Amino acid sequence: MNTDDLLDRAIVARIPVLVKARPAEASGRRIVEVEASTESIDVDGDCVLQDALLKSSASFINSGHLDIDHLSEFGYRLGIPDPSSYIIGRPLDVRAGPNRTTFVEGEISKAIDGRVDPTRNRFDEFWQSLQRDPPVVWFSSIYGWPTDLEDFSKSAQPGSPITRYLIKSIDWRSLAFTRSPKNTALASPARIITAKSYMSELAKSFLPSQTFEMPSMAEVVKASTCPACAVHTLPSLLGYRQHFLACKSMAPGMADVFAHAIMHRTNMLRAMSVKA
């Protein structure tokens, strides 16, 4: 079984909760708190047991990470350059909450030199979004491989609230922050889906035409040069987003991918020229 086959078996559980930013500590550390999971049955008849997350919390804290839209996990399959750049922090603690909820405390990354640049760094952009009034609403989403589950899809008893999967144990790998259109309000239900189906939904949001072939870097570079707005003469993440939205009529998700791709390339070229 290859890596892609294993990846397709991973699950994503999306929870409609608000991510909270703690006031900055004296050390300047950027701490967030989020309700990562509930044990309620979701709209598809799935449930992740709190015990499954708590048992995997030690490995999650030691080797897991926080990212955006799980793109660090399978962005390469969407053709996204440098998927690891979507990692924005690391988990610090996992604790049980009331009514069998599970909370995660995490730290958002900072640049080594201490400079804050939301136009280039996703971790700065995310942190800044939590400081707005009102703050941007992000949703929580866990990612991992089930190591023990019960499939009720063919044996569910009449009236049973669980009609599909009961996740009893999981190898918890990451927690993502997402603004997925599937979760448009805090009252939305949680959903458990496979990584493969999640990736398909993500591709649809990037490419409304239903074409899932992601662009090559050559296509990104070609689309980023514009005599109308001349964004390439003064590159910035926000500038490129606006260019792809207004000048190239791209959907917001696709414009974001193109903007991050071209800015990553621009920053890499800058770094190479400095070294030279």
122, 177 Cβ separation under 8 angstroms: no
Provide the pLDDT for residue 90: 94
Per DSSP, what are the bridge partners of residue 102?
A: 37, 96
In this structure, the dihedral spanned by the alpha carbons of residues 209, 212, 217 and 221, taken in order and rounded to 10 degrees, is: 0
**What tokens appear for 168 in the block?**
């009893």
Residue 191, pLDDT score:
61
pLDDT at 87: 92
What's the half-sphere exposure (Cβ side, CA atoms, 13 Å) at 2? 1
Q: Which helix (H) or strand (E) covers residue 9, if one does?
A: none
144 closest CA partner among 1, 14, 2, 12: 12
Query: Structure tokens of 9?
Result: 């078996």
Rounded CA Rg of the chain: 20
Q: How many helices (H) and strands (E) does the chain have?
A: 9, 10
Q: Is the pTM of this model over 0.85?
A: no
For residue 119, give both structure tokens: 């136009």
Q: Give me the tens of pLDDT residue by residue for the chain, a chain 276 residues long.
A: 444 444 456 777 776 666 777 766 556 889 998 876 676 666 667 778 889 899 999 999 999 999 998 888 877 777 777 788 889 999 999 988 887 788 889 999 998 888 888 888 889 998 988 888 777 778 788 888 888 887 777 665 666 666 677 788 888 889 988 875 443 434 444 566 666 667 666 666 555 444 445 566 777 888 888 888 878 788 887 788 888 888 988 877 677 778 777 877 776 676 665 444
